[in-house]
Structure formats: structure tokens, C-alpha cells
Structure 1
Amino acid sequence: MKLLRYGAPGKEKPGGLDADGNLRDLSSHVPDIAGDVLLPDSLSHLKALDFAALPRVEGNVRLGPCVGGTGKFICIGLNYSDHAAETGATVPPEPIIFMKATSAIVGPNDTIEIPRDALKTDWEVELGVVIGKTAKYVSERDAMDHVAGYCVINDVSERAFQAEREGQWTKGKSADTFGPTGPWLVSADEIPDPQALRLWLEVNGHRYQNGSTATMVYGVRYLVAYLSRFMSLQPGDIISTGTPPGVGLGQKPPVYLKPGDVVTLGIEGLGNQRQDVVQG
């Protein structure tokens, strides 16, 4: 099941894709793809619907973030050993956790705005994990019971703010538009193994990232259990699980985004994104 949100920013409506890839409206069944709608019983109710019988949404509509009302946007740093190597870092003995401001979340095809005074705006294709049931002190064995589904995330990063302006990484990760999310929330039952997904990213048609979630150091099951030791995870929370090699920082010489660039990215089974880069 592929769930989504469509419409103008801040006024998105719930929707989904039918078997033929047509966008269908879910407004008569749920108020949004958010909160309690992500609980297992609610998702089971939606899965039982005949999507082909729902109102079809015609025309070229904007896709919003595939999940609304996200309370926590949790990111994992250096979670691919080959990405750690390209940045000159070592694989951490425990997951590196940092937060991305929820105000960074935008739709999958919205523009990326380079912040004022930015020098090194970078890209990162990542697997997003959406929590569907509250997780607190859960075991690895039970961790996947708390996952509603998966999505594509571009963890856009301003490296100068992140690494050269003191403090933690958050200031380099949280600018407006730095969290394109979607196009869809794909329910967990459609992705039997989240550690076997191909993911890629291109800038202006040149492929920089071409990896697999199989090379993640800490997998989804471990991360959900691990994070739940330090904070409760609530329905709609997003875990962005790290990026494979090929980021701009890792190029020789480094390559960073500039106004006029076009970023395209995707994950096997989870859809694609496209963003125009503009000056903020």
C-alpha cells in the first residue's frame, strides 16, 4: 500500500495509489496520513479498501510530505562504512544520533533553497523509517512491529554550518527545505527486507550515489530498538537511516549544490524525488 499527501503546502489531503498507479483521494476515510492513522489497526482498515473505487484525483497535483504531523525527525550519521571512509571518519561503535528540525520537511519535488551564507550545500539519499506504533524500550525482536512503513528522504546538508560553525550537526541539517520526504509512505508489508534496497542520487543527470541498504552498519531493526532506549518513538516520527557513499563532500575535489542544479533520487520500491535548487 502506497499512501501519500497531496495539495498546497499546509493544506495537504490524504491519498493513495491504486494498483494502476492512479492517485485516489482518502479524505472520506481518514483526516490525514498522520498520528493514529499510522497505527496497525488503521493501516489494516485502509489496506482493506478498494482503492480503485475511491475518487480519482485528476491533473498535475503537488505531492506533499508523505507523513504529516511528524514530532521527531531523527537522523543517523555515518551509518554506511563506505560513506564514513569517503568523509575521513571512522565507523562509530554506537549509532550517531542527531535531530533535523521538522520545519525542514517538504514535499518530494519541492525546491531546495540554499541558505544565506551557505558555502557547501550537499545531498544525501536516505531510507526513511516511519513509526506506526509507540516504541519505548522495545527489543530487536519486536522492533519491526512498530514500523508503519518506509519512504525516500534527501537529507540535504550544509557542510560549512555542520562542521565549521561549532556545536552539533543540527544547524547544518535543519534549514527550510532540507528534508524532502516521499513521494509515498510504502507500508511495511510491501518491503519484506529493508536491508536489501537499492538507492541512488543524481545531480544534473550525473549519478553520484549508487548504493544499497545492505551496507548499512546498523540496520532498521537495531535502530528502532536502540533509539527506543533513549526516547519514546511516536506514530509519525521519522528515522532517516544514513547515506551511502557519493556525497558532494566525498568528491575529489568536493562538489556542492548551486542554484540551477536539478537533484533526482530514489529507492527501489519507494519511488523517486526531483528537486530544483534555488538561492534562499
Structure 2
Amino acid sequence: MFDKNKGVFPAGEKSGDALEGNFISRAIDDTEWWAIAWIEAYDLTGDRRYLDMAVTIANYVQGYWDTSTCGGGVWWDRERTYKNAVTNGLYIRLTAALHNRLAGDTVWLQRATAGWNWFIGSGMINSSNLVNDGVTGACGNNGQTVWTYNQGLAIGGALELWRATGDSSLLARARQLGDAAMSSLSPGGVLTESCDPAGTCDDNQKQFKGIFMRYFVDLADSTGDASYRTYAQRQADSIWQNDRDSLNRLGQRWAGGGTRDWRTQASALGALVLATPAG
């Protein structure tokens, strides 16, 4: 499957954008997701092909790190229209993960550190420790929606760089981001996307909460803090008790109901699996 899908595909066949080989497309964030997936595949299998592919993708992404606009950061797309949280959160997680898996590396660590320092300095993390969507043309926080996956990726990037450096300030910042999500993104204790109440989430947004939980549970495991594990279990309990129909379909709103499709199913199943204690 890896060999079959690393080729060239026209727009609409595997993705909305054309895939140009090695899982690369004009959407830099979509390309980064592939690299993250191959790192996870490498961790599971030890097959060096997967890690090498992640390096290939990361080298492509590095071409969109640009200090001439806003002093740094990776562009969201090949057209260089926007610098945002998802692209740069993924960049930090990816570059730090490569450092942690490539013996003797210094280059990816330098890039991860530069990415984190730029992200923190960009102002995208607001005074409430919530991550807004991106920066303006004037290089300030644009005040746009706090999406749960951006909050999760900021946690995940901080944690992977903490593992690379041992810098306790990174773990402390990951905690602040996790605490803010529990207090500000979880009415009634249940994680809620801003588009959940009105039922207006698009196909991407339907999957955001599952991504958040992936990195939030990394925080729980990294700190051993029981309050984080309790929160993760609360999400799973609410999904199972309130968001499951008679056919075991899981909906968009983890507090109950909403759209049901494969995207909401995957997101909610991710939360259920993550809440299961290892072993």
C-alpha cells in the first residue's frame, strides 16, 4: 500500500489537490500530515522506508519556511497566502520527531527550536492560552477561531520538543495549553468544537476533536497527571453514553448527537481508543 500510494495522482482521486509523488501536494499542512503518519508507521514497524519518507516530505516542507515574512514560520500553501497554526504546529512536531529518531541529528533540532520560538513569538497563543487560527498580514494574531486540533498540535509540538531537549518550560507550556482546553473548550466537561452547537462543521472540522485527543493523551502520559487521564476518560464515557446510536454510529457532538458519518466515527473512535489504558 505504501509503494502503491506514493506515486502521482490527479486532483480528486486521492485528495482535493493533486499528489505529485511522495505524498506531496500544494497544501503544505496536508503534506505534513503524511509525514506524521509515516513517523508513526516507523515507530510501529521499525521499517526505515517510512522514516526516510518522512524526511523526504520534511525537506519539501522546509522550502516553505520563510523568514522574509513575519520573521519566520511555514506557509500554509504553495501560493504563500497565509501563515497559520496548523501548518506550524505540525512543523514543530515533525521536525522534533525527526530529531528524536535520527541519531546524531542537529539540523532538525535547530529547525524545531526555531519553529517553536517563532510560533510562541507570533502571538497565535492568546492571553487565555488558546490557539487562534493564524496571523494577519501585519503579523499579529488574527483572532480567528480556536479550533481544537490547533490546540492539540501546540501541545504535541511542545511535548516532542521537550523530549528532544529536556527543557522543562516546554512541558509547562504544554500543561497550560491542556489546562486551557479543559477549562475553556469543554462546556460541561465535554470537548466541544465551536461549530458543534449549530451543526455547521465541515468535513475537516468533524475530525478535529479526535486529533486534539491524540496529543492531549500524550500530555497525560508524559506528565502522569491523573486529572488529564480523568478528562480523557470523561470524553470516552460521554461518547459511549450520549453520542452512540443503536447501530453504534458516533456523532459529531460528543455530548450527544449531530451529524454521523465516517469522519465523526473516526474522530470519536480515536477518543475511545486513546482513553483505554495501555496494557
TM range (shorter): under 0.3
Q: Which has the higher contact order (CA 8 A, sep 6+)?
A: 1
Higher strand share: 1
- TM-score, normalised via structure 1 length: 0.25
- TM-score, normalised via structure 2 length: 0.25
Higher helix share: 2
